[in-house]
Amino acid sequence: MAIRHYWSMAVAAVGFRLVLVLFGGDLHLASRPEVSTPLTSLRRLAEGYWLKQASMSPYSGSMYHGSPLLLSVLGPLTSKRSGGHHSHIYCSLVFVAVDFIAAILIRSTGRTLQMARNRSLKSLDLTKSVDNSVNVSAGDTASLIYLWNPWTIITCVGSCTSPIENLMVVIMLHGACSGLVPLAAFGYVMATHLSLYPAILILPVALLLGNGPDTPPAKVFLQRGSSANKIVMSDNGKSTSQKGFGQFSRKPILHFILWVFIWSCYVLLLNSIILNKVGGLQEMFEKTYGFILTVKDLSPNIGVLWYFFAEVFDFFRSFFLIVFNMNIIFMVLPLAIRLKHRPCFLAFVYTAIVAMLKSYPSAGDSALYIGLLGLFANELAEMQFTFFLFFGYIGVSLLSPVMHNLWIWRGTGNANFYFATGLAYTCLQTVLVVETVSSMIKHDRKLRLLIKA
């Protein structure tokens, strides 16, 4: 069931952003630690661009830690020649367009997943049973959630590069779901280049390309005997033999690896050209990936690592750096084994875990996984604690700037006030991940029960 007036609501979301950008004045969102991080700050990018224009390495100071490609794309827009306020407007307009493109790609991805879901339910003769419970347009829902999410809006208006990182992840998922291998490889290479953490999404992308979009687990089809291989009607009306679910195809994976290598070489070549005579690739890796993994900047953010490493003894710092960085990797394989039949949902779970455990998290990371959450509106319709999570996120969003103000400006609080909101935020994300995974497993179990009935 498609959402009526989708385009009106989408255009209204874009219009709302434009009003805030053009007529909202300086909302000081760029200086908010919830919005801007040392990796995504546009002010730091402007500093790096100024250093590059002065024939110095953009990494020679301690300010810029982003991609050289962003310097070439966004750097000229931050130039003082454009005027201070006008340069902010130009960059924000770019981010508005980026947000809109990401929302459209999310909508297309949702429709692809919906078609795959309908095909698998039809092959199981469960279409009527499931449609009677819930059947909304997941693509439209996810797209509008992404466009109207307050965190997406403040990230867009607040002039940070998070929308570009989110767009690359969405491009990767869209390409993988649609079978567009070069596009998926481009999104993967760029997302990893900009932020490093999307590297763990290699497993969901490989499963998407090898198995196709999301389907119920293989056990469900085994219960139907020959249902997985029966003749079904394809989208163009011709009778075709449906590929057996669970059959893994290696050819798209090899094609993907080839394109990843090609795009990686191309990106490294461009970076070496940009940094010619003002640095090199080794310095770039040290100041970008090295900066992410070593957590050298302890300025406050909505995560928990800044507070922990500000308190920990230097003697134990290396040990805990390994622990925190490996913590993400430890979760990759078990989740992939359990959710391999739903690779797009697996990508959502990985994205949420990264937003929770990365060294410099921001509201833009949450904006991405909450938008992707809408892709599974049908499967997660019976999820528990939605009321608690919804108002918990609202509470944290309101308390975080208040506690920061009490600590930094009023002087009536301390770092523990602000850290408490970050701790509550991390707990909420943990509950969200656990609840979504358990709800998806319950949904698959429900399908098996319907078949037995």
Model confidence over 355-365: pLDDT tens digits? 999 999 999 99
Q: Mean per-residue pLDDT for 122-146?
A: 76
Instruction: Give me the pLDDT at residue 449, please.
Output: 81
**Could you report the per-residue pLDDT of 61-77, keeping only the tens digit for each?**
788 999 999 998 888 88
Q: What local confidence, expressed as pLDDT, does residue 234 receive?
A: 41
At residue 17 the predicted structure's pLDDT band, cuts being 50, 70 and 90, is very high
Q: Is the pLDDT of residue 399 over 60?
A: yes
Token pair of 333 as six digits: 């394989």
| Per-residue pLDDT at 227 exceeds 50 | no
Residue 233 pLDDT level (bands cut at 50, 70, 90): very low
Query: Which pLDDT does position 344 carry in this prediction?
Result: 93
What SS3 state is found at 241?
Answer: strand
pLDDT band at 367 (very low <50, low <70, confident <90, very high): very high
CA dihedral of residues 47, 49, 55, 60 (deg, nearest 10): 50
* pLDDT confidence of residue 236: 44
Neighbours of 387 (CB within 10 A): 8
Which range has the worst mean pLDDT, 67-81, 305-319, 376-390, 398-412? Answer: 67-81
Domain assignment of residue 320, yes or no: no
Average pLDDT over residues 436-447: 89
pLDDT at residue 414, rounded to an integer: 85
Q: What is the mean pLDDT of the chain?
A: 86
The answer to whether residues 61 and 47 touch, using CB atoms and an 8 Å cutoff, is yes
Check whether 305 has a pLDDT greater than 50. Answer: yes
% of the chain at pLDDT higher than 70:
87
Cβ neighbors of 227 (< 8 A, separation 6 or more) are 123, 124, 125, 221
pLDDT tens track for 51-65: 888 888 898 878 899
**Which pLDDT belongs to residue 213?**
80
**Residue 365, domain member (yes or no):** yes
- pTM here is 0.90
Q: Residues 6 or more apart from 355 whose CB is under 8 A from it?
A: 361, 365, 366, 368, 369, 429
The residue segments making up the domain with residue 285 are 6-233+240-291+336-381
At residue 224, does pLDDT exceed 70?
no
Please give the tally of structural domains in the chain. 1
Q: Give phi and psi for 38, each to the nearest 5.
A: -60, -20
Provide the token pair at 174.
């869209």
pLDDT band, residue 27 (cuts 50/70/90): confident
What is the Cα–Cα distance from 309 to 316, expressed in whole angstroms? Answer: 10
132 falls within a domain: yes
Which pLDDT score is estimated for 237? 43
| Cα–Cα distance list, 11 to 1, 7, 100, 143, 375 (Å) | 20, 6, 9, 12, 20
- Tell me the residue length of the chain: 453
Q: How confident is the model at residue 110 (pLDDT cuts 50, 70, 90)?
A: very high
In a domain, 200, yes or no: yes
- What pLDDT, on the 0 to 100 scale, is given for residue 239? 35
**Structural domain includes residue 107:** yes
- Domain assignment of residue 325, yes or no: no
Question: Is the per-residue pLDDT at 390 higher than 90?
Answer: yes
Q: Which residues make Cβ contacts (< 8 Å) with residue 16, sequence separation at least 6?
A: 153
Rounded CA-CA distance 70/275 in Å is: 12
Domain assignment of residue 88, yes or no: yes
DSSP 303-337: SSHHHHHHHS-HHHHHHHHHHHHHHHHHHHHHHHH
pLDDT at residue number 225: 52
- Residue 73's SS3 state is helix
pLDDT for 241? 35
Q: What per-residue confidence (pLDDT) applies to 228?
A: 41
Higher pLDDT, 269 or 380: 269
Residue 382 — pLDDT band, cuts 50, 70, 90?
Answer: confident
Instruction: State the average pLDDT over residues 406-412.
Output: 86
Tell me what percent of the chain is helix, strand and coil, each rounded to the nearest 5. 75, 0, 25
Residue 135: inside a domain? yes
- Average pLDDT over every residue of 395-421: 89
Position 348 scores a pLDDT of 95
